[in-house]
Chain A
Amino acid sequence: MPDLPERKVGIIACSGEELAVGTVSRLAALKVLHELRPGKTVTICLPLFLAGGEGDRAFARFYPTITVDGCELRCAARGTEMYSGKPTASVVVSELAAENGVGHIDGRRRLNQAGQDAVELTAERLTSLVDEILATKAPAKPLVSIAASPEKPKVVGCACGSGIPVQTVSIEGQPVELLALPLIFSNLRERGRAPEVAADELMANVEIYNAVPVGSKAAYRTAILREYAAYWRGGMR
């Protein structure tokens, strides 16, 4: 039985190296990713929005994303919105710590006790937000797991090990790289949507993550449906 697509929440930390609160953002994110909600959360290195590819920049459009920033500059929240998508929620460590009476956070390399308390507090807040997001009904756009794709699509590798898969499709004789196509195919097939009935839903999903030129919609539809039919047949063998 194939694994069902699973909703995951993205967490992006500023990791600000200059300040102790930046270290708190990083450690709190890691605590949620590795200890508190493993398997339910994914992350990406913030700089990949500029240094990476389209698959990386699609992160916050693909996952409901929580940003965690150390200070009021809010580099993670603003950077994510500028280059990827509007975060579903944002946490600022300095504000959260002040609201909860945490003392002076110090030690960007080795956090003092207040810093360690702030890590716990921030991780709790992030966990609560993750649970809230996962408890809500699935939004209009599909949320599927990268791990759900049985193929080996091209992904951008990085130190955070994330990235949204892309697939190249020949459309009107030109190779076109389509974001998230392997996941969309996987999601549809796992829900038993045969090519003959899936065309509208397929294109609606493709257009969430990709800009389809108005004048080429019919050609995109034909090419993508052709690829999906091949994918569907492969899975039925």
Chain B
Amino acid sequence: MSHHPCVVVIPCSGIGKAFGTVSREAAYELCESLRPADTNLVALSKLVLGEEDAKSRVRSNAAVTIDGCKLMCASKLVKLSGGTVAREVSVLDVFRRYKDLKPEGIAELNEAGKELARVIAAEISETLDEVLAESQGGHHA
């Protein structure tokens, strides 16, 4: 039986600003709406704790991180957990290209924030096949 490869997606847990909520919403849009068969969401808090299953998932799959601020917690923790970050997405970098999509609201994003999350998810989705191919190539090299 062949193992279906997937990409693990790790958003940051930013709770103080809307950009953190955008990272979370983008991850849900990607994992639940756009590419549910190819992605697997990993809670960042599990990597803080060093939970074995979560560490194993980030070590054995290519990881896409989505961070809400420049401290890049998700990206750093994947690396600390022994994983490989295949794509490192910064919400702020995407926002600089879409200045009209200013996110507001932490508990509940405004429509611009939701749209920014959809843009980020779509951009990741477009490159996901490439990430999967890279990870497959890496395994066979």
Contact = CB atoms under 8 A, between A and B. Distances in A.
Contacts of B46: 16, 18, 73, 75
Contacts of A4: none
Interface residues of B, number: 36
A50 interface: yes
A162 B71 CA distance: 13
Nearest to A158: B71
A28 B51 CA distance: 24
Contact of B43 (A22, A43, A156, A162): A22
Contacts of A162: 16
Contacts of B107: 27, 30-31, 34
B118 interface: no
Interface in B1-31: 11-17, 19-20, 24-25, 27-28
A159 B68 contact: yes
Nearest to A43: B15
Contact of A159 (B15, B32, B80): B15
Contact of B45 (A15, A29, A109): A15
B141 interface: no
Interface in A159-211: 159-162
B16 to A, nearest CB: 3
A122 B1 CA distance: 44
B72 A161 contact: no
Given A30-B107, A79-B49, A45 B73 contact: yes
Contacts of A22: 43, 45
A49 interface: yes
A56 B19 CA distance: 19
A157 B106 CA distance: 17
A13 B17 CA distance: 14
B44 interface: yes
5 contacts: A15-B43, A22-B43, A43-B16, A51-B73, A78-B49
Interface of B: 11-17, 19-20, 24-25, 27-28, 32, 41-49, 51, 68-74, 76-77, 80, 106-107
